[in-house]
């Protein structure tokens, strides 16, 4: 299949290009290297050194014996999107080319407007190019579980049956996002749903949980060729919880659950994210269909994950403490969370069960780059508050608590039981474009 990846230079885009190529697909991609700029703006860099795009493409050809057509173009420019579509004639499009950070979108009006216009415009441009050039192509759009927020009821896959004043209907499940970024994803989802309806396009909107991991097998066994590695961020805006915890562990920095550390989210390893996106691509919806996949298998508490990272780090001789930070976000810290995720399972998705082994691989990978994390460790402590205030948060005196060491919230009834037991315990606690093509590492 000819697959165009929007955002091919990113955390998911670069491994996905390798994963799909290894399965015989033909890949092309575009990226304007915004992610590299944003992370630099947050005073940080990728923990694992990442090559410039020319080096990446060279390594790709050496490993897979194939070329990737690449455009260093901004997808907010419709005529460029149209050009790419005419040139490559994609059968499928994976849209990863958005700003993925909640904190970044909350900095100030300029950042909010940028994140929303960037994310919404690129999606609209892809939809128009599909309508006019490849109407039968399949759009796999990366949405987020954060579109739903944390409602006090089960979360279905996009739609639910409601009865209101004696009449029944199947309606989109209400969205309750928790940041301007997450709302940008909601707006994108609505626009795609509408385009599928009026233009008979087809799309899978993937509501992804929080991804963690340093590698996939397709990069090679030992990460010997650094040009094939993906980025791994640890700053307050682009580093996600588990990736940050692992980076903190390798430099002996306390692991940092926010607030009481009782938030619950769906998490999945990078390799599972690749598997899910590929299953969606290889099993497209019907013409005119807009479908939603909730992309997660296991649901974990933040403190449970911190405890697990602590445990695996200790096995590797990396003692580290867990110290909660004031929560800079406006979010529910204790909440119900039960998510349907049948669609991917019915397509054969098999989740990585051994999270400990995944964390071990991550920590071993990151130990090599300890000095890079150390050099930017200031970026670990957040200062972006949801009320617009900008001040570093402080550590607070809450001991890490979990319903049971190393035990996960599973899904379904297992999770209900864990939550109700827990509830009874109370609440005691800018580079140039040329550089980005050429630079060997940043
Ligand atoms: N958290 C901590 N300590 C940290 C970092 C995060 O306790 O050091 C907590 C946050 O308060 C939050 C949870 O961990 O409750 C998840 O935060 P995150 O930064 O790992 O992830 P989030 O901001 O939710 O966003 C990430 C990706 C985003 C994707 C989303 C999926 O950046 O692109 O959409 O995960 S989800 O969270 O399911 O909406």
Paired sense of beta strands 92-95 and 138-144, if any: parallel
352 and 289, same domain (yes or no): no
Q: Quick one: 272 and 371 in the same domain?
A: no
* DSSP character at residue 76: T
Q: 180 and 116, same structural domain?
A: yes
Q: Is 144 a catalytic residue?
A: yes
Q: Are residues 324 and 274 in the same domain?
A: no
Q: 224 burial class (0-12, 13-18, 19+ CB within 10 angstroms)?
A: exposed
Assigned domain for 254 exists: no
The residue from 185, 308, 376, 436 that is catalytic is 185
Mean pLDDT by 10 residues, the chain (442 residues): 98 98 98 98 98 98 97 98 98 98 98 98 98 98 97 97 98 98 98 98 97 95 86 98 98 98 95 97 98 91 97 98 97 95 95 91 97 98 97 85 40 35 33 51 38
In the three-class reduction of DSSP (H, G, I as helix; E, B as strand; rest coil), residue 170 is classed as: strand
Instruction: Determine whether the shortest distance from the Cβ of 302 to ligand 1 is under 6 A.
Output: yes
Q: Ligand 1: distance of its center to the CA of 241 in Å?
A: 6
On whether the CB atoms of residues 81 and 75 are closer than 8 A, the answer is yes
Cβ(51) – ligand 1 distance below 6 Å: no
Q: What's the confidence (pLDDT) of residue 400?
A: 59
CA–CA distance from 310 to each of 34, 137, 181, 264, 430 (Å)?
Answer: 33, 45, 30, 18, 35
Is the C-beta atom of 207 inside 6 A of ligand 1? no
The domain total for the chain is 2
List the residue whose alpha carbon is closest to atom 38 of ligand 1: 209
Residue 441 within any structural domain of the chain: no
Q: Which of 150, 187, 210, 323 to mutate to test the pocket of ligand 1 (most atoms within 8 A of CB)?
A: 210
Element (H, E) at 111: helix 109-132
Handedness of CA 55, 226, 74, 194 (dihedral sign): positive
In this structure, the strands spanning 167-172 and 290-295 are: unpaired
Residue 432 inside a domain? The answer is no
- pLDDT value at residue 431: 39
Is any ligand 1 atom within 6 A of the Cβ of residue 263?
yes
Cα 70 to ligand 1 centroid, rounded to whole Å: 30
Q: Are residues 188 and 317 in the same domain?
A: no
Atom of ligand 1 nearest to the CA of 102: 23
3-state secondary structure of 401: coil
Q: Is the CB of 379 under 6 A from ligand 1?
A: no
Q: Are residues 284 and 310 in the same domain?
A: no
3-state secondary structure of 29: strand
Task: Tell me which residue has its CA closest to atom 3 in ligand 1.
Answer: 257
In whole angstroms, give the CA distance from residue 7 to residue 342: 27
Q: Are residues 200 and 277 in the same domain?
A: yes
Q: Same domain, yes or no, for 289 and 365?
A: no
CA 240–ligand 1 middle distance (angstroms): 5
Atom of ligand 1 nearest to the CA of 209: 38
Q: Measured in angstroms, how far is the CA atom of residue 157 from the centroid of ligand 1? A: 20
Is any ligand 1 atom within 6 A of the Cβ of residue 214? no
**247 domain-assigned:** no
DSSP per residue over 131-153, as a string?
HHT-TT-EEEEEEEGGGT---SS
| 95 φ/ψ angles, rounded to the nearest 5 degrees | -100, 100
144 and 184 in a single domain? The answer is yes
Please indicate, yes or no, whether residues 411 and 354 belong to a single structural domain of this protein: yes
174 CA distance to ligand 1 centroid (A)? 20
Q: Find the 377 Cα to ligand 1 centroid distance in Å.
A: 19
240 domain residue, yes or no: no
Mutate to test the pocket of ligand 1, among 38, 105, 107, 144 (most ligand atoms within 8 A of CB): 144
Inside any domain, residue 186: yes
pLDDT for the residue numbered 442: 38
Q: What's the gap in Å between 209 CA and the centre of ligand 1?
A: 9
Token representation of residue 327: 């929560």
User: Using an 8 Å Cβ cutoff, are 182 and 99 in contact?
Assistant: no
Q: Residue 78 has which token pair? A: 């419709």
| Ligand 1: nearest atom to the Cα of 331 | 15
Q: Is 278 a catalytic residue?
A: no
Instruction: Report the separation in Å between the CA atom of 265 and the middle of ligand 1, taken as the mean of its atom positions.
Output: 8
Cβ neighbours, 10 Å, residue 414 = 13
Q: Check if 100 has its Cβ closer than 6 Å to any atom of ligand 1.
A: yes
Ligand 1 atom with least separation from CA of 255: 8
Q: Is residue 403 a part of any domain in this protein? A: yes
CATH at residue 346:
3.90.25
Same domain, 338 and 278: no
Beta-carbon-side half-sphere exposure of residue 33 (alpha carbons within 13 Å): 22
**148 and 36, same domain (yes or no):** yes
150 lines ligand 1 (CB under 6 A): no
Tokens (6 digits) for 404: 């049971």
Choosing from 280, 298, 316, the residue where a domain stops is 298
d(CA 20, CA 66): 12
pLDDT in the model for residue 90:
98
Q: What is d(CA 423, CA 15) in angstroms, rounded to the nearest whole number?
A: 39
Of 19, 104, 148, 181, catalytic: 181
Residue 410 has a pLDDT of: 39
Per the annotation, the verdict on 66 as an active-site residue is: no
Phi, psi of 36 (to 5 degrees): -60, -40
- CA-closest candidate to residue 403, choices 429, 416, 420, 422: 422
The CA-atom distances, in angstroms, between 110 and each of 42, 58, 187, 212 are 15, 37, 18, 29
Structural domain that includes position 313: 299-424
Residue 411 counted as domain residue: yes
Q: What is the CATH number of the domain that holds 70?
A: 3.40.50.720
């Amino acid at each position: 299949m000819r697959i165009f990846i929007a955002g091919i230079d990113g955390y998911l885009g670069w491994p996905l290009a390798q994963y799909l190529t290894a399965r015989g697909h033909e890949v092309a991609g575009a990226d304007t290297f915004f992610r590299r700029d944003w992370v630099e703006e947050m005073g940080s860099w990728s923990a694992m050194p990442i090559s410039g795009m020319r080096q990446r493409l060279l390594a790709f050809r050496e490993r897979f014996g194939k070329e990737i057509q690449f455009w260093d173009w901004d997808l907010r420019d419709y005529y460029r999107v149209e050009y790419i579509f005419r040139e490559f004639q994609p059968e499928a499009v994976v849209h990863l080319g958005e700003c993925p950070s909640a904190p970044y979108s909350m900095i100030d009006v300029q950042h909010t407007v940028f994140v929303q216009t960037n994310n919404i415009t690129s999606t609209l441009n892809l939809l128009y190019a599909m309508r006019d050039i490849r109407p039968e192509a399949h759009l796999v759009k990366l949405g987020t579980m954060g579109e739903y927020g944390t409602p006090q009821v089960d979360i279905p896959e996009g739609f639910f049956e409601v009865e209101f004043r004696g009449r029944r209907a199947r309606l989109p499940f209400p969205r309750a996002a928790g940041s301007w970024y997450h709302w940008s994803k909601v707006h994108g989802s609505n626009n795609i749903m509408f385009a599928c309806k009026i233009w008979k396009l087809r799309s899978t909107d993937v509501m992804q949980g929080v991804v963690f991991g340093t590698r996939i097998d397709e990069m090679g066994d030992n990460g010997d060729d650094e040009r094939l590695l993906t980025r791994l961020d640890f700053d307050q805006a682009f580093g996600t919880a588990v990736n940050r915890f692992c980076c903190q562990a390798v430099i002996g920095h306390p692991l940092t659950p926010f607030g009481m550390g009782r938030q619950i989210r769906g998490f999945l390893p990078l390799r599972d994210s690749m598997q899910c996106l590929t299953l969606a691509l290889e099993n497209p919806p019907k013409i005119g269909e807009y479908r939603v996949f909730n992309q997660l298998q296991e649901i974990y508490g933040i403190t449970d994950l911190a405890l697990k990272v602590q445990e695996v780090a200790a096995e590797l001789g990396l003692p580290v403490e867990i110290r909660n930070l004031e929560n800079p976000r406006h979010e529910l810290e204790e909440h119900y969370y039960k998510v349907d995720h049948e669609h991917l399972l019915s397509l054969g998705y098999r989740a990585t069960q051994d999270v400990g082994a995944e964390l071990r691989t991550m920590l071993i990978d990151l130990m090599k780059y300890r000095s890079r994390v150390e050099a930017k460790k200031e970026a670990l402590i957040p200062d972006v508050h949801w009320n617009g205030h900008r001040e570093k948060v402080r550590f607070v005196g809450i001991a890490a608590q979990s319903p049971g060491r190393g035990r996960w919230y599973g899904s379904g009834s297992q999770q209900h039981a864990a939550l109700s037991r827990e509830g009874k315990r109370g609440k005691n606690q800018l580079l140039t474009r040329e550089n980005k093509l050429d630079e060997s590492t940043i």
